[in-house]
Structure 1
C-alpha cells in the first residue's frame, strides 16, 4: 500500500480545512450529496480525513487488510450501507472517495512544487491508496445494496400474500403472481399461523390472480392443502378458470380430494354451508 513521506501526511493534517472545503465542493458538483444533510456530510468528510491520517501514520506501506486500517474500513462500510438505504447508486457512493483525489492532488502539487520527482512518486502512491479505498467502498456498497433488495423482496412477498378473515372460522388467501418454492413456504407459514391464531376451520386459497398453473404450481398448492389439513382445517381452492382447468386436465395432475370452485364467492358460500351458516337477502 502507500509509502508516503512524512511531509505528505503533515500536509494533509495541516491543510485539513482547505481539503474539506474543496472536497465538499467537488462532491456537490458531482451530485454525490443527494439526500444528504449538510451536517452529516461535514461530519463524514472530516472523520474520513482523520481516519486517513491515522491509518497513514500507523499502517504506512502496508495492506488495507491489516489492523491499522480497520477503523477506516469499518467507516467506509457504514457509509456504504447508509448510501444504499438512501437510494444512491455505486457511482455516487464511490464518488465520496474519488472526489477527494482532486483536492489532495492539488495540495501535493503545491507542497512539492520544487520537487517534481517527489511529487510524481507521492501522486502515484496517493492514487493507489485512494483507488484501494474506493474499490473497498464499492464492494461493501454492493453487499449492502443486495441486502436491501433481498429485504424488500421479502417484504413484497409478505404484502402479496395477505391472509384475510372473511367470516368467523373462514380465512382467505388471495394469490397474485407466480408461485415458487420460497413463496409457497411463506404462504404456508403465514396461513398456518393465522389458522392457529384465529382457530379457523376453513381456509380458501384463491388463485384468480395466478397467471398459469403447471405441474410445479400444482405441487405447491397440494403441499399447502396438505399442511392445512394437518392443522385440522379444511381447504377450498377458488379461482379455477376454464383455461386453468383445461391445463390441469392436459397435464394429468391429480387434484382428487381437493375441493375447487370457479370463484371466491362460490367458495365462501360452500364454506358457510359447511359451518351451518345461512345467508339470505333482506326483503
Structure 2
C-alpha cells in the first residue's frame, strides 16, 4: 500500500522491531473503545495474530482482493463474528482495528525520514480499508446470529406435547405466519412418526387473530397431519374468532373443531374408546 518506497520498507522494520510495544499500545487503545468489557490481556491475545497478518501485507500495493490478503481477511472475519456474539457494536469492533493507526502514529511521529511519513500515510489508508471490511463482516455475522436466534425462538414457541397415549397437542401462541407454520408442521410430523400417535390437536387459544392467511396455514398443518394417518383437531375457537371466521367466509370443511383444548382431548379419547368420568360429584 505504499505509493513510493525505497529498497527497505521502514515501517515494516518498525513493525518487526517494536512488535511487543505496538501490540501492547494497540490493545490499550482498543480497550478504551470497548469501555473495559475486555481486559488488555484478552485483547492482546486477540490482536497479536491479527498484527502478524497485517505485518505480512504492509509492503503490498493493491486492494484486498489479492491472494496475499486472504489470511488477514479471514482473521478479521473471525474477530467480527466473535465481537458480534459478545454483544459489541459494529462501531466498537471497527474502532478496535482503527486504534492501530494511533499506536503507529505515536511511535513514528518524531521520525525525520520522509519515507516513514509516506509509508504511515499509506498504512493509514490500508487500515481504513480493513476497518470497512470489518464493519461489513460484522453486519453479516450479526444477521446470521439474528437468524439463528429467530429459528431457536420458533422452536421454543411451537412445542409438541403428549397429552395422552396416542394424543399429541401443539399449543400456539402469538402470530402464525408461513415460517412458523413450516416449523409447526415439521415438529408435528416428526412427533407423529416417533410416537405413532393417531390424534393431533392444534390449539389456537393463544393466537391473537385469525384471518384468511392464518386459516390457510392451519389447513396446511391439518392436511400434513392427515397424510401421516392422524386425525387433526383444531381447538381454542373463541367466540370472537368464530365470528371472524364466519365473516371472512373461511371453510374448515370436515375438520373437527372444538372450543377448548379439554373438549378436543375428550373427543380424541372418545374416538379411541376411552371414557372419562368423575368418581364423585364436585362439592361446592
Confirm or deny: 8 A CA contact 2:189 2:228 kept in the other structure: yes
Q: Counterpart of 2:82?
A: 82
Return the alpha-carbon distance in structure 2 between the equivalents of residues 268 and 248 of structure 1: 23
**Following TM superposition, by how much is the alpha carbon of 1:21 offset from its aligned partner in structure 2, in angstroms?**
1.9
Question: For each residue in 1:18-51, what CA deviation from the matched residue of structure 2 results, as whole angstroms up to 9, or x when unmatched?
Answer: 21221121122222652x4655422222112211
List gaps (5 residues or longer) in structure 2.
Answer: none
Question: For each residue in 1:52-75, what CA deviation from the matched residue of structure 2 results, as whole angstroms up to 9, or x when unmatched?
Answer: 111124xx1121110111111111
Root-mean-square deviation (CA, aligned residues, Å) is 1.7
Return the alpha-carbon distance in structure 2 between the equivalents of residues 119 and 52 of structure 1: 17
Q: Report whether the alignment pairs 1:131 with 2:124.
A: no
Alignment partner of 1:275 out of 265, 269, 272: 272
Question: For each residue in 1:56-97, what CA deviation from the matched residue of structure 2 results, as whole angstroms up to 9, or x when unmatched?
Answer: 24xx11211101111111110111111112121111211220
Confirm or deny: 8 A CA contact 1:164 1:171 kept in the other structure: yes
Alignment partner of 2:164 out of 164, 167, 176: 167
**Following TM superposition, by how much is the alpha carbon of 1:199 offset from its aligned partner in structure 2, in angstroms?**
0.7
Return the alpha-carbon distance in structure 1 between the equivalents of residues 76 and 36 of structure 2: 16
Return the alpha-carbon distance in structure 2 between the equivalents of residues 176 and 142 of structure 1: 31
Cα 1:194/1:108, change in 2 over 3 Å: same
**Following TM superposition, by how much is the alpha carbon of 1:10 offset from its aligned partner in structure 2, in angstroms?**
0.7
Question: For each residue in 1:186-222, what CA deviation from the matched residue of structure 2 results, as whole angstroms up to 9, or x when unmatched?
Answer: 1111101101110111100000111010101101111
Confirm or deny: 8 A CA contact 1:4 1:61 kept in the other structure: no
**Following TM superposition, by how much is the alpha carbon of 1:123 offset from its aligned partner in structure 2, in angstroms?**
3.5
Alignment partner of 1:145 out of 137, 142, 146: 142
Q: Secondary structure at the match of 2:58?
A: helix
Aligned residues: 277
Cα 1:214/1:104, change in 2 over 3 Å: same
Alignment partner of 2:154 out of 152, 157, 166: 157
Q: Secondary structure at the match of 1:278?
A: coil
Return the alpha-carbon distance in structure 1 between the equivalents of residues 178 and 118 of structure 2: 57
Q: Report whether the alignment pairs 1:21 with 2:24.
A: yes
Q: Counterpart of 2:179?
A: 182
Cα 1:94/1:32, change in 2 over 3 Å: farther
Q: Report whether the alignment pairs 1:218 with 2:221.
A: no
Q: Report whether the alignment pairs 1:30 with 2:33.
A: yes
* TM-score, length basis structure 1: 0.93
Confirm or deny: 8 A CA contact 1:20 1:46 kept in the other structure: yes
Return the alpha-carbon distance in structure 2 between the equivalents of residues 140 and 256 of structure 1: 50
Confirm or deny: 8 A CA contact 1:163 1:173 kept in the other structure: yes
Confirm or deny: 8 A CA contact 1:206 1:238 kept in the other structure: yes
Return the alpha-carbon distance in structure 2 between the equivalents of residues 39 and 154 of structure 1: 35
Indicate the larger mover: 48-57 or 170-179.
48-57
Q: Report whether the alignment pairs 1:46 with 2:48.
A: yes
Confirm or deny: 8 A CA contact 1:109 1:119 kept in the other structure: no
